Amino acid sequence: MAVTAEASGAEADAAGPVEDARLVARARGGDLPAFEALYRRHAGRINALCLRMTGSHALAEDCVQEAFVQAWRHLDRFEGRSAFTTWLHRIAVNRVLTVQRSESRRPGGFEVSDEDNPDPWGADPGETDPGKDMDLERTIASLPDGARNVFVLHAVCGYSHQEAADMLGIAVGTCKAQLHRARRLLSERLEQ
Amino acid sequence: MNDEDSLMQRARRLPGEIPPRRDLWSDIEARLRTPEPAASAGAGWRWFALAAAASVIMAVAALTVLHTDRQPTLPAPAPVAVSTDFPAPFGPAYSLGPQYQVARAGLAQDLNSRLATLPPETRASVLRNLEAIRAAVAEINAALADDPGNVLLQQLLLTTYQDELAVLADVQDATEKLPKRNEI
Amino acid sequence: MSRSLRGVALAAALLLNAPTAFADRDVRESAQVHPKGEVEVSNIAGSVRVTGWDRDVVEVTGTLGSGVEDLEFRTEGRYTLIKVRMPRNGRSGGSDLEISMPASGRLTVGTVSSDTTVQGVQGALRLQTVSGNIETDVFGEDAQLKTVSGDVIVQGTDEAGLLTITTVSGDVGLRDVRGEIVVQTVSGDVEAESTELERARIRTTNGDADLRTGLASGARFEMEAVNGDLTLTIKGEPDAEFNIETFNGDIRNDFGPEPVRTSRYAPGRELRFSERDGSARVGIKTLNGAIILRTD
């Protein structure tokens, strides 16, 4: 059963931060199994975020790995002022931005898909779950980087403009403008 | 708009979790066990660093002011109505920061009275050029509204603001030599 | 004193400091100075011509405009001031000053509408005017030239220095400059020809810029315009990384690949490529202006 981005957030929060904090404390001390538990709890959300922002399974998996590796290395910097998930998201977003910058000169967006790089939102013969909105996912993937990043963080994950702007390293005004643009482009493209 | 509201609803209903195609833990664990050099703390993405704006302000502000007596050479010019209402900055201006805004506000404040002391031809030329800069800013802003992530546009906007600052500073500099209107 | 008013001169001799309404007066002043000292010249209208020579002396000759109060000429330590002083009220005509100073000295000139011509002064230069023109040669020291509407003409001597030029609407012409140039104008046109430059930063809003020069190894060039057209002609074989972008303009290049669209969703063309080792870096950007890249 699909759990929405927001709902999974809420659900995770019920047991979430407390359990996360406990695991973080242990992981800081070098407890690798505790960190693995954190991975199990959060990999799905981080992967969803990275997949939607990069449009590629391979790139998303690279970002997920990198995010957890960086998180482990910098656990001492996590001060517990924000939720662990937010902190982890920030690390993941940083990695995604780096990847996007190096991929950025590829024209045509994400239309290129091949055996090694299947379209994550492509019609999968076995996939008939009506809960998944492939049209929307695919159209989000077709957005230009800036607009897509903002739409995913704000509209899908539910971060505020300020939070999304901070994570992306842009001004709040730019964030709002990008969202406006994303919504306009999505509306136009979904109508077809 | 219903269209967009339902879009936002659809967005919120997208699945929050999408498991990776395979379990990544073993790869992650392998990397955690190997010590790697610490990643350098990136400065982030802000290419239009405050430092860049600040250094321009310093360069522009450190102009020579020639100390001379105030000396009238011309009849009192007619009052000049100059709009110091520069177009509201967009995008990167947020990152230009308080230092820039202060410098600009300071220079723009005196602009009218200083322009009034310039010889009429020069005054007209300065006004035309400030108007040209204003028009350039408006054009770049309009393009940015459609394409906010466009780095080229952001860079051009930044340098155009720097150019405006330089003109304001030049006017201030040039008019140090001339009397203020109320002294004539 | 003016010869034509000799009759009044005797009476006037008793009133030495009274503002005079005589016609133009000749002046002549001179002083021994330090060879590397600073000379500052201030004039309103008329002309200023400064020449460097090999004597440790500053000498001024010239004609003061009618209504000018006097010429202040004073030396303190290594600093010499030559200033045309105006009375509080009334108009005055322009003053023409001819100044000779030690060639190794530094020079500062400030005028309103007076033209400024400098030749053979090798120390740092700071020349500033509102609407006058500036014409100077430059050597290896820093030179900073500013006008609002006056034109700037610089003759280099192939010595590397730092040349900073700012105009609002004045045009800029540079020849045989070396080292680093920074030129900023709103609507003036810029034209420069050199054997080689290490750094060039040229910014214009609406003016055109045309730069013809060799690229020093590791050179850094940046040219930016909003609406102006930018032309870069490289002497010799380019060894550089090129980063050329325009939002609405055209890119025409003699070498390198074809420009491409930046994105299918937005206007914009870019041209990014490397020649040889890519040692220098050339960045050219416009909003609407055309970009022309050539070799010579």
Residue in B85, B160, B153 with CA at minimum distance from that of residue B129: B160
B93–C contact, CB cutoff 8 A: no
Q: Which two tokens stand for residue C260?
A: 């491409």
Contact B69 C85 (CB under 8 A): yes
Q: Best of B160, B168, B170 to disrupt the C interface by mutation (most C CBs within 10 Å)? A: B170
Give me the pLDDT at residue B98, please: 62
What does the domain layout of chain A look like in residue ranges?
1-105, 132-192
pTM score, two decimals?
A: 0.59
C22–B contact, CB cutoff 8 A: no
CA separation for the pair B174, B64 (Å, rounded):
10
The residue to which tokens 């239009």 are assigned: B48
Write out the E strands in C55-140. Answer: 57-64, 70-76, 79-85, 95-102, 106-111, 115-119, 125-129, 134-138
Instruction: Please report, as a single letter, which amino acid is at residue C188.
Output: G
Chain A residue nearest residue C263, CA to CA = A107
Contact B10 A6 (CB under 8 A): no
CA separation for the pair C134, C109 (Å, rounded):
10
Kindly compute the dihedral angle of the four CA atoms of residues A160, A161, A162, A168, in this order, to the nearest 10 degrees: 110
pLDDT digits (tens, 9 = 90+) for A143-159: 888 899 999 999 999 99
Of the pLDDT bands very low, low, confident and very high (cuts 50, 70, 90), residue A104 is low
Out of B136, B152, B170, whose CB is closest to C148? Answer: B170
Give the sign of the dihedral formed by CA B119, CA B123, CA B126, CA B129: negative
- Residue C214: strand pairing partners: C196, C235
Chain B residue nearest residue C246, CA to CA = B152
Which tops the pLDDT comparison, C153 or C113? C153
Give me the pLDDT at residue A192, please: 67
How many separate helices (H) and strands (E) can be counted in chain A?
8, 0
Chain A residue nearest residue B8, CA to CA = A155
DSSP for A35-60? Answer: HHHHHHHHHHHHHHHHHHHH--HHHH
CA separation for the pair B172, C37 (Å, rounded):
28
A109–C contact, CB cutoff 8 A: yes
Q: Kindly state whether residue B56 falls inside one of the protein's structural domains.
A: yes
The residue to which tokens 């703390």 are assigned: B41
Instruction: Please report, as a single letter, which amino acid is at residue C130.
Output: V
Of the pLDDT bands very low, low, confident and very high (cuts 50, 70, 90), residue A13 is very low
Give me the pLDDT at residue B70, please: 30
Work out the angle at residue B118's Cα, subtended by the Cα atoms of residues C203 and C68, and round it to the nearest 5 degrees. 125
What's the whole-number average pLDDT of chain C?
89
Sequence-distant (≥ 6) Cβ neighbours of residue A10 within 8 angstroms: none
C257–A contact, CB cutoff 8 A: no
DSSP for A6-43? Answer: HHHHHHHHHHHHHHHHHHHHHHHTT-HHHHHHHHHHHH
Give me the pLDDT at residue B175, please: 76
Chain A residue nearest residue C262, CA to CA = A107
Write out the E strands in chain A. Answer: none
Contact A4 B21 (CB under 8 A): no
Instruction: Please report, as a single letter, which amino acid is at residue A119.
Output: D
Q: Is the pLDDT of residue A191 over 90?
A: no
CA separation for the pair C219, A42 (Å, rounded):
49
Of the pLDDT bands very low, low, confident and very high (cuts 50, 70, 90), residue A101 is confident
B148–C contact, CB cutoff 8 A: no
Task: Establish, for the pair of chains B and C, how many residue pairs have beta carbons separated by less than 8 Å.
Answer: 130
Contact A65 B44 (CB under 8 A): no
Q: What is the largest CA-CA distance in chain A?
A: 54
DSSP H helical ranges for chain B: 2-12, 25-33, 50-61, 92-109, 111-116, 120-146, 151-174
What percent of chain C has pLDDT above 90? 75
List of chain B residues with pLDDT < 70: 1-4, 35-100, 177-184
Of A16-25, B85-94, C232-241, which gets the smallest average pLDDT? B85-94
CA distance A40 to chain B (A): 8
Chain C residue nearest residue B147, CA to CA = C266
Q: Which two tokens stand for residue B37?
A: 């050099």
Cα distances (angstroms) measured from residue C133 to each of A9, B35, B167, C46, C109: 68, 65, 18, 11, 12
Give kind and range of the element (H or E) at residue A188.
helix A172-191
Q: Is the pLDDT of residue C153 over 80?
A: yes
Chain A residue nearest residue B11, CA to CA = A156
C266–B contact, CB cutoff 8 A: yes
Q: Which residues of A touch C261 (CB under 8 A)?
A: 107
CA distance B64 to chain A (A): 35
Q: Best of C245, C261, C262, C265 to disrupt the A interface by mutation (most A CBs within 10 Å)? A: C265
Kindly compute the dihedral angle of the four CA atoms of residues A54, A56, A61, A64, in this order, to the nearest 10 degrees: 20
- Residue C294: strand pairing partners: C233
Give me the pLDDT at residue C90, please: 60
Q: Which two tokens stand for residue B127?
A: 């006004």
CA separation for the pair C36, C52 (Å, rounded):
12
Q: Kindly state whether residue B4 falls inside one of the protein's structural domains.
A: no
Contact A147 B149 (CB under 8 A): yes
Instruction: Please report, as a single letter, which amino acid is at residue C21.
Output: A
Give me the pLDDT at residue A110, please: 41
Q: Best of B117, B125, B141, B175 to disrupt the C interface by mutation (most C CBs within 10 Å)? A: B125
Of A96-105, C27-36, C180-189, C248-257, which gets the smallest average pLDDT? A96-105
Give me the pLDDT at residue C56, please: 96
What percent of chain C has pLDDT above 70? 90
CA distance A163 to chain B (A): 15
Pairing of strands C152-156, C70-76: unpaired
Q: Domains in chain B: how many in total? A: 1
Cα distances (angstroms) measured from residue C126 to each of A85, C39, C40, C85: 58, 10, 9, 20
Which tops the pLDDT comparison, C38 or A118? C38
| Ramachandran angles phi, psi of A128, nearest 5° | -125, 15
The burial of A12, by beta-carbon neighbours within 10 Å (0-12 exposed, 13-18 middle, 19 or more buried), is given as buried
Q: Best of B64, B117, B152 to disrupt the C interface by mutation (most C CBs within 10 Å)? A: B152
CA distance C273 to chain A (A): 13
Of the pLDDT bands very low, low, confident and very high (cuts 50, 70, 90), residue C89 is low
Residues C110-131 have a mean pLDDT of 93
Out of C260, C265, C272, whose CB is closest to A144? Answer: C265
Residue in B154, B131, B143 with CA at minimum distance from that of residue B52: B154
Contact A107 C265 (CB under 8 A): no
The burial of A161, by beta-carbon neighbours within 10 Å (0-12 exposed, 13-18 middle, 19 or more buried), is given as middle
Which tops the pLDDT comparison, C5 or A48? A48
B87–C contact, CB cutoff 8 A: no
Chain B residue nearest residue C88, CA to CA = B71
The residue to which tokens 């860049």 are assigned: B52
Q: Which of the 8 DSSP states describes residue B109?
A: H
Chains touching chain B through at least 3 C-beta pairs below 8 angstroms are A, C
Residues A69-84 have a mean pLDDT of 84
The residue to which tokens 């850094």 are assigned: C220
CATH of domain A132-192: 1.10.10.10
Q: Looking at domain A1-105, which CATH architecture does it have?
A: Orthogonal Bundle (1.10)
Question: What domain range includes position B166?
Answer: 46-70+87-184
What percent of chain B has pLDDT above 70? 58
Instruction: Please report, as a single letter, which amino acid is at residue C123.
Output: G
pLDDT digits (tens, 9 = 90+) for C16-72: 444 444 457 899 999 999 999 999 999 988 999 999 999 999 999 999 988 888 899
CA separation for the pair B167, C167 (Å, rounded):
8
CA distance C226 to chain B (A): 7
Q: Best of A100, A104, A105, A148 to disrupt the C interface by mutation (most C CBs within 10 Å)? A: A105
Chains touching chain C through at least 3 C-beta pairs below 8 angstroms are A, B
Residues C2-17 have a mean pLDDT of 46
Chain B residue nearest residue C130, CA to CA = B174
